[in-house]
């Protein structure tokens, strides 16, 4: 079995080919041009780059792929007309201009949103952006026949089928988590036409087949099944091995703590962590976050006129001591679990004896503390987890890895394949093609780990308690 996975990232599009064991070949990627705007992108560029990468892979495959499976960035606002042509550039999750609309939703529907969707509104979600478009650009709203997410635009371009999956639908705001359907009553009250929302299909399902035109553009065989797929949070969780016993820690631009639980568990977490649908229909997906995460390291590097690699080299040289300066990484807001997005970063215990290396190590420790806070809340409300899977900077950079190992009590794992979203998409694809009975079974066979030495320390716990004291002020 050969499945091509496609990941539409906000900075880069990636494709790779997987077999049913999880082995990956032909990884190809291309960076997207974000110079013109950090919060918008040309959806047609998503497809042109994807088609180019697919041509590169299909030209090297010894036989045609059995399927294509999709994942991509969530929460975008992309309206397409009756012909499937975008009415405007896609507004990405990073756009926060719909703050007034988000506040309106919370003021009028706050409790209802928590009960229905598992989340209150933030400007990140698609729905407030939709309300903003309807008010400020009514001609674009009227012209939009369907609102799509990134992966859904690619599946439409390949198949001409307009659809989404529960994970991306839950990131719009307005899908009933209990039923997996759009809440027509809720959208009617907002005077949003649910006919503009795509049908919701299971993540591990065939949504359509590659058309003759798309086959010519991509090198795929006409009639190749296209798997509906998932939003990137869900694929990253699946590809990191997240399950009832394993959580995942990712430190990229933002910091993320991904976890899952049985359907209904999210009711205890709603309003504290983000709650989304999961690719596995028996599960829900939970997200804890700190918006600045690894961005703090870039920011501090620029302030001190050093490169990011130099930042980590300096952090490596500083010890974790009781006198470590404590960094509150809230320069872009707190995120979960406080759900406060008012900027308010700070340093505590900083004194004249500290050097730049201490500051770098303190920043690493501080960036991980909110994710530890999310983990503690998760376990308090939904039960203990034995393993933590380290991704991105959390496994690549020595200072981050060592700090995570000191701070988190769970047994530490590093996935052998670092392309979590691509691998997670492939797992979903393998389940859709019935190579396995379920996503859970596919995960057990396709995801492999390397265990690392557990080095949690009481000192890290003491520093974390100090962090919580300062963060609560």
Q: What is the pLDDT of residues 98-152, one digit of tens each?
A: 999 999 999 999 999 999 999 999 998 999 999 999 999 999 999 999 999 999 9
Task: Give the distance, in angstroms, between the CA of residue 175 and the centroid of all CA atoms in the same chain.
Answer: 18
Indicate if the pLDDT at residue 454 is higher than 80. Answer: no
Q: How confident is the model at residue 35 (pLDDT cuts 50, 70, 90)?
A: low
Indicate if the pLDDT at residue 83 is higher than 80. Answer: yes
Question: In the chain, what percentage of residues exceed pLDDT 70?
Answer: 99
* Nearest partner of 388 among 245, 194, 266, judged by Cα: 245
Give the count of alpha carbons within 13 A of 1, CB side only: 22
Indicate if the pLDDT at residue 270 is higher than 80. Answer: yes
The dihedral region occupied by 211, where left means phi > 0, alpha psi between -120 and 50, and beta the remainder, is: beta
**Of the given ranges (8-17, 85-94, 389-398), which has the lowest mean pLDDT?**
389-398
- Radius of gyration of the chain from its Cα atoms, rounded to whole angstroms: 22
Element (H, E) at 412: strand 411-415
- Spatial separation of the C-alpha atoms in residues 266 and 275, rounded to whole Å: 6
Indicate if the pLDDT at residue 456 is higher than 90. Answer: no
Exposed, middle or buried: residue 191 (CB in 10 Å: 0-12, 13-18, 19+)? Answer: exposed
Positive or negative: CA dihedral 177, 265, 227, 10: positive
* Nearest partner of 155 among 91, 78, 93, judged by Cα: 78
Choose the most confident range, by mean pLDDT, from 93-97, 261-265, 389-393, 423-427.
423-427
pLDDT the model gives residue 339: 85
User: How many CB atoms are located within 10 Å of the residue 308 CB?
Assistant: 15
Indicate if the pLDDT at residue 421 is higher than 70. Answer: yes
Average pLDDT over residues 307-327: 95
- Spatial separation of the C-alpha atoms in residues 313 and 311, rounded to whole Å: 6
- Spatial separation of the C-alpha atoms in residues 330 and 373, rounded to whole Å: 14
pLDDT the model gives residue 36: 67
Q: Burial letters for 445-462: b for 16+ Cβ neighbours within 10 Å, e otherwise?
A: ebbebeebeeebeeebee
Q: How confident is the model at residue 219 (pLDDT cuts 50, 70, 90)?
A: very high
The set of residues, in sequence order, having a beta carbon less than 8 Å from that of 340 and lying 6+ positions away, is 333, 334
How do residues 149-181 score in pLDDT, each as one tens digit?
Answer: 999 999 999 999 999 999 999 999 999 999 999
Q: Burial letters for 264-278: b for 16+ Cβ neighbours within 10 Å, e otherwise?
A: ebbebbbbbbbbbbb
């Amino acid at each position: 079995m050969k499945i091509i996975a496609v990941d539409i990232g906000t900075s880069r599009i990636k494709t790779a080919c997987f077999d049913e064991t999880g082995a990956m070949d032909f990884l190809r990627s291309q960076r997207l041009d974000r110079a013109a705007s950090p919060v918008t992108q040309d959806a047609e560029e998503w497809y042109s780059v994807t088609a180019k990468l697919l041509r590169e892979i299909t030209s090297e495959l010894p036989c045609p792929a059995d399927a294509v499976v999709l994942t991509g960035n969530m929460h975008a606002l992309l309206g397409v007309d009756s012909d499937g042509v975008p009415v405007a550039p896609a507004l990405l999750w990073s756009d926060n201009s719909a703050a007034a609309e988000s506040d309106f939703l919370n003021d009028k529907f706050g409790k209802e949103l928590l009960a229905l969707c598992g989340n209150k509104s933030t400007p990140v979600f698609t729905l407030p952006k939709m309300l903003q478009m309807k008010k400020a650009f009514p001609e674009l709203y009227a012209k939009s026949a369907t609102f799509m997410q990134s992966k859904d635009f690619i599946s439409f371009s390949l198949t001409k089928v307009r659809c989404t999956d529960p994970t991306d639908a839950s990131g719009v705001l307005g899908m009933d988590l209990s039923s997996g359907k759009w809440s027509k009553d809720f959208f009617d009250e907002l005077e949003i036409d649910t006919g503009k929302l795509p049908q919701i299909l299971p993540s591990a399902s065939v949504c359509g087949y590659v058309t003759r035109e798309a086959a010519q553009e991509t090198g795929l065989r006409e009639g190749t099944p296209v798997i509906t797929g998932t939003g990137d949070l869900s694929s990253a969780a699946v590809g990191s091995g997240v399950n009832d016993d394993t959580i995942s820690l990712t430190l990229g631009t933002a910091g993320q703590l991904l976890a899952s639980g049985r359907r209904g568990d999210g009711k205890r977490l709603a309003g504290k962590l983000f709650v989304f649908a999961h690719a596995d229909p028996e599960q829900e997906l939970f997200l804890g976050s700190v918006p600045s995460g690894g961005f703090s390291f870039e920011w501090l590097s620029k302030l001190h006129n050093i490169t990011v690699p130099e930042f980590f080299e300096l952090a490596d040289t500083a010890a974790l001591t009781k006198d470590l300066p404590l960094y509150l990484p809230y320069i872009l807001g707190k995120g979960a679990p406080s759900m406060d997005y008012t900027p308010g970063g700070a340093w505590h215990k900083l004194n004249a004896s500290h050097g730049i290396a201490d500051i770098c190590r303190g920043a690493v420790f501080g960036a991980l503390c909110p994710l530890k806070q999310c983990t503690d809340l998760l376990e308090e409300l939904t039960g203990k987890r034995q393993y933590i899977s380290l991704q991105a900077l959390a496994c690549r950079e020595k200072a981050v890895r060592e700090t995570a190992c000191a701070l988190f009590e769970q047994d530490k794992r590093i996935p052998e394949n670092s392309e979590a979203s691509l691998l997670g998409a492939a797992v979903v694809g393998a389940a859709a093609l019935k190579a396995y009975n379920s996503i859970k079974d596919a995960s057990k066979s396709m995801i492999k780990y390397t265990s690392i030495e557990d080095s949690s320390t009481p000192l890290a716990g003491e520093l974390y308690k100090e962090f919580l004291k300062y963060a609560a002020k």
